[in-house]
């Protein structure tokens, strides 16, 4: 276990930084993770982030009957939405003896009339407009990032964004609240908050809380390295109003689409190494393409050359869509005694 923190850069993606595409590409192809400077343009203010964390805390503290009323298991087959109690998800089924020590609440994309296509718990119900606005700001940030990746790869600027335009159809995108409770006595090397995995979609945005660390990434050398909650040094934390930089990572689909040039890095969430630590809350926006997006290689010369050098031949005849891919992945993680249809896979 390494004590070092990963040297993940903080990138300014505003239009005042013409080097943003190249910097993003470099970070994504080295670490698979990047911090994005959270200036006013993201719409993801410290206040709105705090507010969503407060709602998350209130929901997970609600009586179990309220959580059960929106359980993922109660949804109709085909959905990946609702509350997951502890014991349902095991992100690294090949290695883990026990399920992840966490609870989660998955929100679908909102529908046009300002509601969600799923049951919303009483604690969150009055705050639906805030949750939707937050989710939309997350998506706008993903689209800005995807446009910059397209620029870096010299493909049409809308190549990725048009495949993530939710006005055109359904998508497996999920907005997830996560809660990792403290365990009075956790067994090191057995209990884990989130097992080693890579994310399934295109991009993930992750919001963490000061004082609640635990995320680690596996470096190219196979070492586990911790990811800081706040990567800023005093000199880089310039703007007073600026929020914590937002952590972004590349998911499997973007790795697949770019023949491995962009890396979907394996990561996990561990318990504190010493002491009992604190409960950990995090918020993740898992951005997925439209369900029917085909996972064909992007028409980029850089990608073609990378594939040639690294011998990535693609999927050959087996052309799959984003939805096929997601189904396959959900089937293996919700493995704790249930089929994907029972728990719901999207
Ligand atoms: O909670 C975290 O910090 C990370 C969670 C994560 O990696 C995931 O749910 O995919
Ligand atoms: Fe993840």
229 lines ligand 1 (CB under 6 A): no
Domains contained in the chain, number: 1
Intervals of the chain under pLDDT 70: 1-5, 75-78, 234-241, 313-319, 333-346
Task: Answer yes or no: is 12 within a domain.
Answer: no
Give the distance (Å) from ligand 2 centre to CA of residue 229.
15
269 lines ligand 1 (CB under 6 A): yes
Nearest ligand atom owner, CA of 269: 1
**Euclidean distance between CA atoms 57 and 60, whole angstroms:** 5
Q: In the 8-state DSSP scheme, what is residue 14?
A: S
CATH number, domain with residue 24 = 2.60.120.330
In a domain, 5, yes or no: no
Secondary structure letter of residue 91 according to DSSP: S
Residue 3 lies in a domain: no
192 CB near ligand 1 (under 6 Å): no
The residue whose two tokens read 């719901």 is 344
Instruction: Give the start-end residues of each E strand in 124-228.
Output: 174-180, 194-197, 203-207, 215-218, 224-226
Q: What is the pLDDT of residues 51-110, one digit of tens each?
A: 999 999 999 999 999 999 999 987 655 678 999 999 888 899 999 989 999 999 999 999
Residue 11 domain flag: no
Q: Has this prediction a pTM greater than 0.90? A: yes
Measured from the CA of 208, which atom of ligand 1 is nearest?
Answer: 3
177 Cβ below 6 A of ligand 1: no
Ligand 1 centroid to Cα of residue 233, in Å, is 24
- Is the CB of residue 56 less than 8 Å from the CB of residue 283? yes
Report which ligand 1 atom has the smallest distance to the Cα of 193: 1
Ramachandran class of 106: left when φ > 0, alpha when ψ lies in -120 to 50, beta otherwise: beta
pLDDT at 325: 86
Q: Is residue 306 assigned to a domain? A: yes
Helices (H), 183-266: 252-257
* CA–CA separation, 72 and 75 (whole Å): 5
Q: How many CB atoms lie within 10 A of CB 220?
A: 10
Residue 104 lies in domain: 18-232+239-335
In a domain, 4, yes or no: no
CA atoms within a 13 Å half-sphere pointing along the CA-CB vector of 229: 13
Closest ligand to C-alpha of residue 178 is: 1
Please give the distance, rounded to the nearest whole angstrom, from the Cα atom of residue 56 to the centre of ligand 1.
15
DSSP state of 168: S
Q: Which residues are within 8 A (CB) of 112 and not within 5 positions of it... i.e. 6 or more apart?
A: none
Give domain status of residue 344, yes or no: no
The per-residue pLDDT for 194 is 95
178 lines ligand 1 (CB under 6 A): yes
Residue 221 CA neighbour count, 13 Å, CB half? 6
In a domain, 6, yes or no: no
CB 41 within 8 A of CB 47: no
What three-state secondary structure class fits 83?
Answer: strand
38 lines ligand 1 (CB under 6 A): no
Q: Rounded to an integer, what is the distance from CA 239 to the centroid of its chain?
A: 26
Contact residues for 316 (Cβ-Cβ < 8 A; gap 6+): none
Model ipTM? 0.99
Which residue from 201, 215, 279 has its CB within 8 A of the most atoms of ligand 1, so it is best to mutate? 215
């Amino acid at each position: 276990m390494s004590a070092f923190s990963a040297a993940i850069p903080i990138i300014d993606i505003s239009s005042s930084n013409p080097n943003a595409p190249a910097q993003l590409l470099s970070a994504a192809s080295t670490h698979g993770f990047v911090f994005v400077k959270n200036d006013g343009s993201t719409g993801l203010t410290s206040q709105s982030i705090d507010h969503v964390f407060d709602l998350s805390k209130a929901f997970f503290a609600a009586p179990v009957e309220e959580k059960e009323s929106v359980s993922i298991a109660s949804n109709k087959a085909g959905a990946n939405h609702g509350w997951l109690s502890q014991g349902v998800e095991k992100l690294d089924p090949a290695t883990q003896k026990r399920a992840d020590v966490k609870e989660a609440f998955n929100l679908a994309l909102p529908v046009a009339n300002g509601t969600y296509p799923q049951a919303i718990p009483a604690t969150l119900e009055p705050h639906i407009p805030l949750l939707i606005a937050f989710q939309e700001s997350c998506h706008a940030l993903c689209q800005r990032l995807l446009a910059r990746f397209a620029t870096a790869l010299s493909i049409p600027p809308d190549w990725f964004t048009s495949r993530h335009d939710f006005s055109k159809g359904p998508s497996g995108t999920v907005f997830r609240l996560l809660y990792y409770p403290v365990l009075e006595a956790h067994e090191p090397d057995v209990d884990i908050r989130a097992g080693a995995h890579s994310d399934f979609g295109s991009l993930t945005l992750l919001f963490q809380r000061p004082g609640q660390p635990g995320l680690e990434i596996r470096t190219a050398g196979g070492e586990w390295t911790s990811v800081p909650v706040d990567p800023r040094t005093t000199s880089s934390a310039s703007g007073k109003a600026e929020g914590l930089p937002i952590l972004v990572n590349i998911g499997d689909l973007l790795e697949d689409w770019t023949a491995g040039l962009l890396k979907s890095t394996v990561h996990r969430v561990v318990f504190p190494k010493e002491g009992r630590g604190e409960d950990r809350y995090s918020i993740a926006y898992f951005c997925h393409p439209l369900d029917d997006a085909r996972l064909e290689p992007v028409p980029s010369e850089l990608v073609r050359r990378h594939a040639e050098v690294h011998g990535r031949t693609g999927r050959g005849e087996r052309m799959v869509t984003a939805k096929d891919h997601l189904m396959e992945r959900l089937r293996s993680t919700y493995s704790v005694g249930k089929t994907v249809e029972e728990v719901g896979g999207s």
